[in-house]
Amino acid sequence: MSNNDNKRRQFFKNVSAKGNIRNTKEIQLQRDFNSGRVSRREFLKIAAAIGMAAQAPLFLSAAHAQATSSEEYDYIVIGAGSAGCAVAARLSEDPANKVLVLEAGPADSNDYIHIPATFPFLFKTPLDWNYTSEPQTALNGGTLYVPRGKVFGGSSSINAMIYQRGHASTYDTWGETNPGWSYADLLPMFKRSESNSRGESAAHGGSGPLNVCDLNDPNPITIAMLEASKQAGYAMNFDFNDGDQEGIGMYQVTQKNGRRESAAVSYLHPAIDAGRLTAQAEAMVLKIIITDGRATAVKFLANGKEHTVTARKEIILSGGTINSPQVLMVSGIGPKAHLKEHGINVLKDLPGVGQNLQDHFMMPVAYRCTQTISLSQAGSEQQAALYAKGKGMLTSNIAEAGGFLKINPQSPAPDLQFHFAPGYFILDGAGNPTDGSDGFTILPSLVQSKGTGTVKLASADPSVKPLIDHNIFQNESDYDTLIAGVKIARKIIASPALNELRGKEFLPGPDVQTDEEIKTFINKYVQTIYHPVGTCKMGNDDMAVVDHELRVHGVDGLRVADASIMPTIINANTNAPSIMIGEKCADMIRNS
């Protein structure tokens, strides 16, 4: 064997040995990460040093909590929901910022999250906080189900994906006492967040992280319902978000290629993939630690162990309308008497925390369908094959179309919304027929309720669900809006375009005709539309919790950024506005 052959053999032997050493280091590093001995940030640093061509897994489970909490961060965002994902991702765009997101639920790996039509299967599962209201007086002691996403993406991972901003007049009212919150001020935030498949325009963004599009494959029942609405005398509306909200039409959705486009998909995962932030799942926040009037740290529970993590700059609470006031109150921020009632040391008396709860309410007008084309057929092999191509019933968001009408002519904005579903949707889906029959539903929806409710503590223990009281129908005129909605829904369904699809009326049923009978039906079948807002309201009055820059009154280094800051509820679906609030909060922090 020549000397050159020996050198060549030794060369490859050395390379192999180095490779084995590197592989051993990679294996050990992976083990250290999986066991939680090193944080994700440390994993990426070590991986780069040894030339490891890999990324740390996206899912930081409870096992990683100790490593996560051993580091200090510039910003801690509590809650990986719609607003939390947006504010965290935007703050992480500055490489100087070290950002941590704490989420009580797991990563969004469940397939039912990403298949649009299957979102009701997520209700009352571990991915849902699964709240129930207190017994409601107007409902003769009945309760309301309040689903809230407990997963990366929050409620944007379990909602119906409808992209609506709401009427400009609501934002303009906010802006009267909160500088920077008129619709003209907020339109750039909406546009920046949005990538609309119709293209960029004066009203829409074309290059934002959140994909907004028309449904890939609308159901023929939905198309017939739109034609029936037109025949019933209602104007068509191609775009509910361009300044003219009234009318009936298809809803645009937060989807891409027939799959859900949640705030986690659009904001959080790209930031994690780029190594810009740390997202700690399965981290139940116990309290925000206030030191000398400043929010400095967060205590959380993971895998049965308590951990404390410190923020150098700010803590942003994005727990949502139910959880954010609860976290504030167990941390000693809230109504003085209520906190003392639960033995909580009062650090800041803010009487508005947990007050001003507002929501939207709807109930079903459902009919049998004479053809087997409703969403009852979505589970077939044929539909599974279509879904693989981004088509078919499984791409449906269920509430495919609808619209907005004014019942009160003096109202500055529509007070009645409709959701058109080419299938049954009764009592959150739990009241649907179980016989596999076909049907369709129009859901008249009250979007300008005149009442407010509360979120209060049941215990100082943050793991105990709070007491939610919508105080529904405290104003009798709210019934009038829904009664009118039932009559309009029946009028639409009676139109000729639905003659070949319309079977017998399933609900309310032909025996329910008078206003009093409809009111009784409403009390039995009303549900929320999963749009709670307002419990940490923005403003400068005695009941305000945050100022116009979302800073908690009287506490430094702490902001709230989610739907709870809305002083008054918008008259449409709340996901897009929640994302906008996250965008707005990040802007204000960066400019402060």
Residue 269 annotated as catalytic: no
Distance CA 388, CA 244 (A): 36
CA geometry: angle at 119 spanning 116 and 124, to 5°?
Answer: 170
Query: Is residue 99 part of an annotated ligand binding site?
Result: no
List Cβ neighbours of 193 (8 Å cut-off, separation of 6 or more): 86, 205, 208, 209, 210, 576, 579, 580, 583
> Per the annotation, does 309 bind a ligand?
no
Q: 561 with 175: CB under 8 angstroms?
A: no
- Map tokens 């105990």 to a residue: 464
Q: Which residues contact 411 (CB under 8 A, 6 or more apart)?
A: 448
Is there a contact between 494 and 504 (Cβ–Cβ < 8 Å)?
Answer: no
Dihedral angle computed from the Cα positions of residues 114, 120, 121 and 127, in that order, rounded to the nearest 10 degrees: 70
Residue from 228, 226, 199, 202 nearest 212 by CA? 199
Among residues 64, 204, 307, 531, the one annotated as catalytic is 531
The separation between CA 225 and the C-alpha centre of its own chain, rounded to angstroms, equals 28
For residues 365 and 488, the answer to whether their CB atoms sit within 8 Å is no
309-341 burial, b at 16+ Cβ within 10 Å, e below that, comes to: bebeebbbbbbbbbbbbbbbbbbbbbbeebbee
* Secondary element (H or E) of residue 306: strand 305-317
Separation CA 101–CA 76 (nearest Å): 6
How does 153-164 read in b/e, with b if 16+ C-beta sit within 10 Å? bbbbbbbbbbbb
Residues flagged as binding site for FAD: 151, 285
Q: Name the binding residues.
A: 151, 285
Q: Which residues are catalytic?
A: 531
